[in-house]
Amino acid sequence: MKKTTSTKSWKQPVVYFLLLLTGAAGALLGQDLILSDERISSGDKAEPSDRSIPVSPTNSPRSNSYGVEMAKWLSANNNIPGENFIVEAADRVGPAVVRIDASRSANNSRSNRFGGELPGNFGLENPGYPNGSIEEGTGSGFILSSSGHILTNAHVVEGAEIVDVVLKDGRQYRGEVVGTDEVTDVAVIKIEADDLPKVILGNSEELKPGEWAIAIGNPLGLNNSVTIGIISATGRSSTDVGVPDKRVGFIQTDAAINPGNSGGPLLNDRGEVIGMNTAIVSGAQGLGFAIPISSAMRIADQLIVSGKAKHAFLGINMQTITAELQREFNSDFNSKIRVNSDRGVLILQVIPGSPADKHGLRAGDVIRKLDDRDIDRSETVQQLVQAKAVGSVVSLEIDRNGDILNLLVPTGNLPEEFGG
């Protein structure tokens, strides 16, 4: 009897545990079946059970499966174009993207200006031929008008004796360089043709980091190649990029850009052109730069009309005020400049005869506001001035040794000795 009682007491908890386990499994299975039935009955329109972004542990963010899942999630949750938006953008814009084959004598080479040595491989595909020979290089461009105006980089066609333009469908035309602007690295080519496919321009003024970026061009001669990434940053100064002689606030992107992409379009997720691909940094990955389309078109419109571009010019050398800058000037007993302000932009030099000189600006003045906008960086002053038309008036709030002055300075045209 004692043995029977002992066996019963051992088996009873096990039976209860198995019953509980079976019941829990049944409940979970039932819930899964119910959810499955709901998905089937709603027909693929059901919202996901959570709002988390799908991440595949076995695929990098660059892999195709990850990109497809990300696009699906974005489409379901944010009403953003689905997994085919890249295809749609490429199909929409691809026919308007051209290959530019430029030929020049070696004596007209410009690779040491905006080519392979500054700061990476900016220029044509095949620089560096022996003296006396002909250099042939490949760049990209895109059609602005059905009558044949094409936008590209100035360094793609600089010094070229022959410019050939090849469309995606294989048609080939001899191109004429309408005008180039080295200050912004913008050029316009014209081909004699009608009813050409053309791009649709987007708004580059409202771009935000994290937005989609699609690049199309002819890297290393591989026609109409499409790459995708995001907008990494906006307003990168020419000094940040490594080309201090340029006057552009660049778009930074991690979409793959390679030699031969120069002059090609950078698109948003709707297939609108938001920039013109221009630069890469040697030895780095995911660091490409594009000229905002608003800046490029401001120059292109001038080139189409007159063959030249004008650039608003104040005539000052300036630097952002930092604690280090304050210490440097205030500890130098030989310096005539004392920096009492802890913010703003210090004017280091006023060029004689410039608009700034003629309208009362002095070395040592601190720019606090420009057109009622607070100023903390010299790059901001540069960007705001270069966006103005020549002859327009700039309103400046100046701190001069503690006195606040308000000055109106009409912009002049950038002189040739400064790149104009």
| Model pLDDT, residue 222 | 86
| Model pLDDT, residue 33 | 36
Residue 370 in any domain: the answer is: yes
- Of the three residues 309, 329, 359, the one that is the final residue of a domain is 309
Distances (CA, A) of 227 to 212, 215, 257, 276, 411: 11, 5, 8, 14, 40
* Whether residues 338 and 243 fall in one domain: no
Distances (CA, A) of 65 to 61, 77, 81, 285, 377: 9, 18, 17, 22, 42
Mean pLDDT, residues 51-80 taken together: 45
| Model pLDDT, residue 52 | 35
Q: What is the pLDDT of residues 111-126, one digit of tens each?
A: 433 333 333 334 444 4
For residue 255 the two structure tokens come to: 């979409």
| Model pLDDT, residue 75 | 54
* Whether residues 334 and 376 fall in one domain: yes
Higher model confidence: residue 330 or residue 350? 350
Identify which of 361, 372, 371, 373 has the alpha carbon closest to the alpha carbon of residue 399.
361
Helix (H) / strand (E) element for 303: namely helix 293-306
Helix (H) / strand (E) element for 9: namely helix 2-42
* Whether residues 267 and 338 fall in one domain: no
- Band of the pLDDT at 341, cuts 50, 70, 90? confident
For residue 142 the two structure tokens come to: 């895109």
Residue 275 in any domain: the answer is: yes
Burial class (CB in 10 A: 0-12, 13-18, 19+), 143: buried
Mean pLDDT, residues 181-189 taken together: 94
Which domain, by its residues, includes 324? 312-418
- pLDDT at 398 exceeding the cut of 50: yes
Angle, vertex CA 269, rays to CA 266 and CA 274, nearest 5 = 35
**Catalytic sites, residue numbers:** 155, 185, 262
| Model pLDDT, residue 20 | 45
- pLDDT at 27 exceeding the cut of 90: no
Q: Please state whether 26 falls in left (phi above 0), alpha (psi between -120 and 50) or beta.
A: alpha
Number of domains in the chain: 2
Of 52-66, 90-104, 203-217, 339-353, least confident by mean pLDDT is: 52-66
- Of the three residues 309, 340, 373, the one that is the final residue of a domain is 309
Residue 21 in any domain: the answer is: no
- Band of the pLDDT at 333, cuts 50, 70, 90? confident
- Band of the pLDDT at 348, cuts 50, 70, 90? very high
* Whether residues 95 and 241 fall in one domain: yes
The label of the residue with tokens 């042939």 reads: 136
| Model pLDDT, residue 291 | 95
Q: What is the pLDDT of residues 316-330, one digit of tens each?
A: 999 999 999 998 888
Please tell me the total number of residues recorded for the chain in this structure.
420
Identify which of 319, 316, 341, 320 has the alpha carbon closest to the alpha carbon of residue 330.
341
Q: How far apart are CA 278 and CA 291, in angstroms?
A: 7
Q: How far apart are CA 211 and CA 25, in angstroms?
A: 44
Mean pLDDT, residues 51-78 taken together: 45
Of 127-141, 264-278, 328-342, 370-384, least confident by mean pLDDT is: 127-141
* Whether residues 290 and 340 fall in one domain: no
Q: Which residues contact 299 (CB under 8 A, 6 or more apart)?
A: 181, 184, 186, 309
* Whether residues 145 and 199 fall in one domain: yes
User: CB–CB of 141/133 below 8 Å?
Assistant: no
Can you give the CATH number for the domain in which 320 is found? Answer: 2.30.42.10
* Whether residues 242 and 390 fall in one domain: no
- pLDDT at 148 exceeding the cut of 50: yes
Counting residues of the chain whose pLDDT is more than 70, the rounded percentage is 73
* Whether residues 147 and 213 fall in one domain: yes
Residue 161 in any domain: the answer is: yes
* Whether residues 301 and 331 fall in one domain: no
pTM recorded for the entire structure: 0.71
Mean pLDDT, residues 369-378 taken together: 94
| Model pLDDT, residue 215 | 95
Residue 399 in any domain: the answer is: yes
- Band of the pLDDT at 80, cuts 50, 70, 90? low
Phi and psi, residue 264, nearest 5°: -80, 165
* Whether residues 217 and 326 fall in one domain: no
Q: How far apart are CA 101 and CA 150, in angstroms?
A: 13
Angle, vertex CA 192, rays to CA 190 and CA 225, nearest 5 = 65
Residue 226 in any domain: the answer is: yes
What is the sign, positive or negative, of the torsion defined by CA atoms of 388, 392, 398, 404? negative
* Whether residues 285 and 365 fall in one domain: no
Residue 29 in any domain: the answer is: no
Q: How far apart are CA 167 and CA 172, in angstroms?
A: 6
Can you give the CATH number for the domain in which 66 is found? Answer: 2.40.10.120
Q: How far apart are CA 119 and CA 128, in angstroms?
A: 16
* Whether residues 303 and 400 fall in one domain: no
Residue 27 in any domain: the answer is: no
- Of the three residues 255, 286, 309, the one that is the final residue of a domain is 309
